[in-house]
Each structure stands twice: as structure tokens, then as C-alpha cells.
Amino acid sequence: MTDKDQNRDEITLKGIPASPGIAIGPAYVFHKDGPVVLERSINEQDVEQELKKLTSALAHAGKELEKIVEFAEKQLGSRQAKIFEAQLMILDDSVLFDSIRKRVRKELKNVEFIVREEIGKYHTLMQASKDEYTRERANDVEDVQNRILRNLQEQRLVSKIEGSHIIVSKNLAAADALVLSRNDVLGYVTEIGGATSHMVLLARALNIPAIVGLHNISTMIHKDDVIVFDGYNGTLVINPSAETRKKFEEKREEHREFEGHLTALRDLPAETLDGHRVQLSANVELEEELGFVKRQGADGIGLYRSETLLLGKEVFPAEEEQFKHYKNIAEGAFPKHVIIRTFDIGGDKLMAQAVKENNPFLGWRGIRVMLDMPNIFLHQLRAILRASAKKNISIMFPMVSHLKEVRKAKELLEVAKSQLAERKIPFDPDIQVGIMIEVPAAAVIADDLAREVSFLSIGTNDLIQYLLAVDRGNEIVSDLFQEFHPAVIRFLRRIIERGKSENVWVGMCGEMAGDPLATMLLLGLGLDEFSVVPHVLPEIKKIIRSVHYSEAKHLAEKVLTMETEDEIESYMKEVMKLKFPDIPLE
């Protein structure tokens, strides 16, 4: 090591990929700690001056927020701008500010200190709430508090940054992400935040790469440290070597070139060179993703996870509330089609706290739960039916393992239909019904099940886990979770063939559908529909459009004769490297 300062070791970290793209550049560490506030006594004659400061700080903060809302409306539309509504209302809270003024007069303390104490009191209470919605609002309260304090200290909003930077921060409020985006922002990196936070949705809407969930990153990085990151897979490197940097630059180039083709690709069908057309759809959790999904050129929504509606709730939402959500999704996607999966709860998903089970993955989940609660199920079925009036919705039942479950669910659907017909409420009487194939038993009786429905959608995550008896969350055995296990491939062929022999289409909405390495194989096995996470959609479309169906079928035949996962995977990699040297494979 010749020069320690210039040649610091590179550090590779892994976060949660949140918004796609490659970012390379100097870091700007954005501190969200809030202004430093000290307790100070003031003289009686300075009270009015102190209170004037508050009035003017509130006016400034109000102007800042109005500008943010205006900018958000321009960039993202008025619905997204609504997330700043609560902050504007707090600035108008005369009870709050009157009590702050009263305390300044009475206690003769500096106004910043009192502001911090008074608003901080509410912030602490909200943070401690067991209601998720209220905990989220705590962030708004903190943001507005810091906005007022900063204006009291007459500091300008840090919104101007010279040059291009990757913004690194502990936590980034949506307002910050938005304001900072007026600069040349190369990417966002945060410690806190899930892949569906407001900040992430904004980053995607603004086409800026982002990674979240990188613990301690803001203390590991100093201003102007060079970092590179990959918003597709969540890898971030601090102080990259010349070699690493070059690798990321190449990848960025590839993606830029690729983005260039994207506009053209968006409106083109997912069709092979020899004219075999498949459906390429997106998996969606939130209404807010619809814009992004459209820009990615999806044929529709292959999986809408309705259980997202249950997040943070202790009771099932009423029919009316559900109807509004489904209607928004259906209208947002129109004229494209949406497959709404009925509540898939249990296992690792939601409401697990309600029932204690020794082995939840083999327990009360998916359709089993809903069939045991027919009234709640009817609420959901009616809500979905009511949203189907424009005929662009299908219904899908999860975790089916018995034929009678499908029959029972269909019976309930008929009950829901006749209830609506009685009330003269419009719906699509021919709404298509499908099921997920994610239990090995369902795969074995796929033909019997197929006779009851219009489509099958393979959920690979659970199917592989049940088929190989591997919990992929269990680190000791998780390397045995292999999507290219010969048993998995043969099983997939069986499901697809059985479905087709009964004239129903067969799709896949599990992770495997979005793995570029598996695309040719799945195509060759005859899969009719791929439903994938939105950000990989263009890549999958590119692969489909660059191959012949005949060669994909040939490849699948060959893979079906192979005996080990290693053999299959290395063969797939070899083919991909040869055909698509520019597509990065994990």
C-alpha cells in the first residue's frame, strides 16, 4: 500500500434495491438529525422580538411547503402531492402555536426550545403508537418541526448542492427527496425505509436510482467519498477501485443504451422472433406503482396483492373501502387487465399474530382462511365484482390444495354475484376465475383444477419451498432452495402441460418469472404469461423478443434431460452469455 489516503480499501455493502439504475459519483451526506436547539433564557423586553421570529418562521415554512406541493404536483400529479397535506395543516394549528407563545411569555425561554418541546411531545407520542398510520405521521410531525426550527435559526433550506451527487442519508423524507431532486441527483441511499416508502415511490417516479436499508451507511461515508451502487440488485461499493468503477460504468452504459431502446420497446409486444406471443405483466402491491408499471410497458397486472390493504389494520376493511381500492386499480390500469388475488394471509404474511401455529407454512393460510370466514370472503368478492364493471378484472385464489376449495370459493362467488344482482349493482357476470399453483398437491391435480377455472398462475416461491422441503428463510438450508432443481423444472412442465390440455392459460407470478436466467427456459416450457416485479420487465421483454420460440423449446427439452441443478444452471448461464452478453446475471 503506497498511499493510504488515496488508496483506501473498497467496501462492498448490500442493501434493498428500491429504484432501478446505476449511480456513480461523489456522496453528499444529508443530515436529517435536525437543527441543534439549546435552552436559553430571555429578557422580558425581548419576548415580543422572540415571538415575531416565530411568526416569520411559520410564514417561511409555509411558503417552503407550498413550493414543495406545487413542485410535487407538477412532477408527480396532485394525488402524490397530498402526502404533504398533514404538514401544511400543522403549520395552521393555532392552538399549538398559541400555547407555544404563552409558554415563551411565561417561562421566558427562547422560542426554539419551546417549539422543540411542544411539538416533540406529540412526536414522541405518535412514534410510540401501535397504529402504523400514526407512526408514519410522526415523520411528518418531525419534518415540520425541523422546518420551523430551521427557519427560526434563519438557516436556508439545504436544497442547492453544487455539482452532481449521490444523496446519502439516515432517513429521507419524501419532501427532502423531492426538493433535492431539483439538483443533479445521481441516486438516493438511505439507512431506513422499506421498498414501498413514499421516498422510494418518488425516486421511481423521478427515475432516480435508490437503495434503502443500508444500516449505518451515513456514518461510514464522508462528503465527496466516491460511491457506486446498483439499484437493480442493491449492491453498493464505497471507494471503488478503478476496476470496480469501470465495471459499474460499463453496466451503467449498458443500462443507458438499454433505456434508449426502452421507449421503442415499451409499445412492442412480448413476442418471439418467430411470432410466439406471451403476456408480460407486472406484480403490484400499491396503487402508486401503476404509473411506473405503465412506463415499463406491461401488458397488464398479473398479480395484485389485495392483502396490502390489511397492512396495519386489525380488522378487515369493509366492502366499500375495498371496492374503492379495487376500482382505483382497475381504472388506473384500464384498458389493461388486472388479476386481483384474494387475501393471501397466514404463513409469513400479516395477521400471523392472530393465531399461534407451530408450523404456519403448513397451517391456516390463503384460501383456507377465507373459506373459514365466508362472510369476510363475501365482502371481498363483492368488492372485487363491483370494481369489475368495466370487464378488466379477474379473480385469483391463493394456496389451493384441494379441488373442493376451488368449488367452494366459486360457489361463494356465485352467491356474491346474486347478491349484487338483487341490489341491481353492475359487475362483470363473466369475470374470469383462476387459481395459484403453489402447493405440490395442486400441481399434481393441475388438470382437475384447470377444468374448474380459466387460468393457472404458478407461485414459484412457495411451490419450490414445499416441493424441496426447504425454508428459504432458514440460512442453514437456504442454499438448497434451487429454482433450477430438476424436480422443479419437471414439475413446471407438468403444470403447464396439464393446464394446456384443459385449454386454460398458464402463467407464473413468482420470483422465477422475473429471473432473466430462467426466461428462455420458461418460454420453452410453454408458459403463456410472465408476471414480474415492474423493474425487471423491460429486460425480460428484451429476452423474449430476441429469441425464437423454436430454440427456446429446444433448450427446454435439453434442460429436461439434465440431472443436476448445477448442470442446468451452468448451461443456462452459458446460453445467456452467448446470446445476451449485455444482460447482467446475478
User: Which residues here bind other proteins, judged by CB under 8 A?
Assistant: 85-86, 89-90, 92-96, 119, 122, 125-126, 129-131, 133-134, 137, 141, 314-315, 317-318, 320-321
Q: Which of 199, 197, 193 is nearest to 179 (CA)?
A: 199
- The whole-angstrom separation of Cα 262 and Cα 250 is 18
Whether the Cβ atoms of residue 166 and residue 186 lie closer than 8 Å to each other: yes
Report the distance separating Cα 527 and Cα 508, nearest Å: 8
Taking the complex as a whole, how short is the minimal distance between the CB of residue 87 and other proteins, in angstroms? 10
Catalytic-labelled residue, pool 123, 198, 276, 337? 198
CB of 319 to other proteins, least distance (A): 10
How does 154-180 read in b/e, with b if 16+ C-beta sit within 10 Å? eeebeeeeeeebbbbbbbbbbbbbbbb
Residue 71 or 122: which CB sits closer to other proteins?
122
CB of 85 to other proteins, least distance (A): 6
Active site residue 215: no
CB of 205 to other proteins, least distance (A): 21
Closest CB 53 distance from other proteins, rounded Å: 20
Min. distance of Cβ 165 from other proteins in angstroms? 33
Catalytic residue among 123, 165, 509, 535: 509
Walk across the sheet containing 22-30 and list its strands. Answer: 11-14, 235-238, 226-230, 22-30, 165-169, 185-190, 210-212, 16-19
Residue 119 or 214: which CB sits closer to other proteins? 119
CB-nearer residue toward other proteins: 250 or 320:
320
Helix crossing, 198-205 with 47-76: angle to 10°? 50
Q: How far apart are CA 293 and CA 533, in angstroms?
A: 9
DSSP string, 98-148: HHHHHHHHHH-B-HHHHHHHHHHHHHHHHHT-S-HHHHHHHHHHHHHHHHH
Instruction: Using the minimum distance from each CB to other proteins, give the nearer residue, 134 or 164.
Output: 134
Residue placing its CB nearer to other proteins in the complex, 122 or 361: 122
Residues 6+ apart with CB under 8 A from 585: 516, 517, 573, 576, 577
Q: Are 457 and 396 in contact (CB under 8 A)?
A: yes
443-451 CB contacts, 8 Å cutoff, 24+ apart: 443/467, 443/491, 443/494, 443/495, 444/494, 445/403, 446/494, 446/495, 446/498, 446/499, 447/498, 447/499, 447/501, 447/502, 448/403, 449/400, 449/403, 449/406, 450/498, 450/499, 450/501, 450/502, 450/504, 451/502
Q: Return the number of the residue (78 or 478) whose C-beta is nearest other proteins.
A: 78
Q: For the packed helices 374-387 and 319-333, what is the interaxial angle rounded to 10 degrees?
A: 30
> Which is nearer to other proteins, 63 or 82 (by Cβ)?
82
| 225-256 residues labelled b (16+ CB within 10 A) or e (exposed) | bbbbbbbbebbbbbbbeeeebebbeebbeebe
Query: What count of other Cβ atoms lies within 10 Å of the Cβ of residue 200?
Result: 25
> Is residue 100 a contact partner of residue 61, using CB atoms and an 8 Å limit?
no
Q: Would the CA dihedral through 420, 424, 425, 431 be positive or negative?
A: positive
Dist. CA 5–CA 51, nearest whole Å: 49
Q: How far is the CB of 315 from other proteins (least distance, A)?
A: 7
CB of 78 to other proteins, least distance (A): 15
Cell of residue 266, nine digits:
415499451
Closest CA to 368 of 409, 340, 417: 409
Which C-beta is closer to other proteins: that of 130 or that of 424? 130
Annotated catalytic residue 535: no
Measured from the CB atom, the residue of 314 and 348 that comes closer to other proteins is: 314
Closest approach of other proteins to the CB of residue 326, in Å: 15
Of residues 310 and 445, the one with the C-beta less far from other proteins: 310
CB of 84 to other proteins, least distance (A): 11
**Mind telling me the catalytic residues?**
198, 509
